[in-house]
Amino acid sequence: MTDTPVCVLGLGLIGGSLMRAAQAAGRDVFGYNRSLDGVAAARLDGFDATATLDQALARAAESDAVIVLAVPMPALPVMLEHIRRVAPDCALTDVTSVKGAVLREVEAHGLRSRFVGGHPMTGTAHSGWAAGSQELFAGTAWVVSVDDDVDALVFADVMNLALDCRAFVVPARSDEHDAAAAAISHLPHLLAEALAVTAGDVPLAFALAAGSFRDGTRVAATAPELVRAMCEANSEELLATLDRTLGLLTQARNHLAAHTSVADLVDAGHAARIRYDSFSRPDILHVTVGAENWREELAAAGRAGGVIRSALPVRGNRG
């Protein structure tokens, strides 16, 4: 349990849900939103929201709140500029789907020592305050960064926030997170788009489309701006996984052209999916945040499928 107040910047689907979930957990929560509509909607639901950024940040600085960046990537530099000026000592996290690019922005603004990145792996096809729910994070994964230099107390603040929102925490390095996100989220989006376009040009295809096509193209219904933003923000990692997939598909293509078997790809794909189905999620229990090698131990545990379901003990290492 912790009493750290929470300052949420951006009250869209994720920020708005986080505000609700943290308040439901008994936290003191307040937030900022750029549009007055969003502020009015949050207030109407009984939440403490303002459209004046520096006012929210001044309060965060006074109350030693943890600040959550819940704005889209393009809005990040402006937020960080204000934070550096008004609340540079607050613990800082984010909820963005690409961690490397955020880390570079945070570093460029001199705030890296107080920052621990986060990525709640949840969402819906809708957006905005109204789409939010205090249940959005319940039972879902929330990645919390364990890069080489993260501060133990800030990590603990972010871990506790995620647990208060009823998520479980997956500790991961930012670079590994981005490589994994490319493979399990950004690549599937590109494959879904390509499948939809290909089938859309074949007469009778939509008339026959069933489960394989519906599942394979479901994420193509996501707003194109969001898909572009996440793919382009993670272009380097996405490029590597896309090239791997192109290699596999080109081999299969050559087998089909030569009337030889596509067994290599099909057997390997089946085996990988079966491994995924039996992937286990053991609880991480025996790591003390801030103890020697705690970051490496958490990264290794997360890589192996481990998750934090209740708060780990913390040994402070703050300045």
Binding to a second copy (CB under 8 A) within 262-291 occurs at 262-263, 265-277, 279, 281
- Two structure tokens written together for 282: 């053991």
User: Interface residues for a second copy in 122-141 (CB under 8 A)?
Assistant: 122-123, 140-141
CB of 173 to a second copy, least distance (A): 8
Only segment of 22-30, 78-86, 105-113, 120-128 that touches a second copy (CB under 8 A): 120-128
Select from 149, 201, 286, 292 the one that contacts a second copy (CB under 8 A).
201
SS3 content of the chain, % helix, strand, coil (to 5): 55, 10, 35
Is 296 a binder of a second copy (CB under 8 A)?
no
Only segment of 20-28, 78-86, 105-113, 193-201 that touches a second copy (CB under 8 A): 193-201
Integer distance in angstroms from the first to the last C-alpha of the chain? 22
The C-alpha atoms of residue 163 and residue 136 are separated, in whole angstroms, by: 13
Closest to a second copy by CB, 23 vs 122, is 122
Query: Alpha helix (H) ranges present in the chain?
Result: 13-24, 36-44, 53-63, 76-86, 99-108, 152-164, 174-181, 187-200, 205-208, 211-217, 224-233, 235-257, 263-277, 294-303
Only segment of 3-11, 52-60, 72-80, 209-217 that touches a second copy (CB under 8 A): 209-217
Is 213 a binder of a second copy (CB under 8 A)?
yes
Select from 252, 309, 311, 317 the one that contacts a second copy (CB under 8 A).
252
Closest residue by Cα to residue 7 from 92, 85, 73, 128? 92
> Using an 8 Å Cβ cutoff, are 311 and 300 in contact?
no
Select from 72, 184, 285, 315 the one that contacts a second copy (CB under 8 A).
184
Is 51 a binder of a second copy (CB under 8 A)?
no
- Residues for the chain: how many in total? 319
Closest to a second copy by CB, 55 vs 260, is 260
Q: Which amino acid is at 6?
A: V
> Using an 8 Å Cβ cutoff, are 166 and 184 in contact?
no
User: Interface residues for a second copy in 144-173 (CB under 8 A)?
Assistant: 170, 172
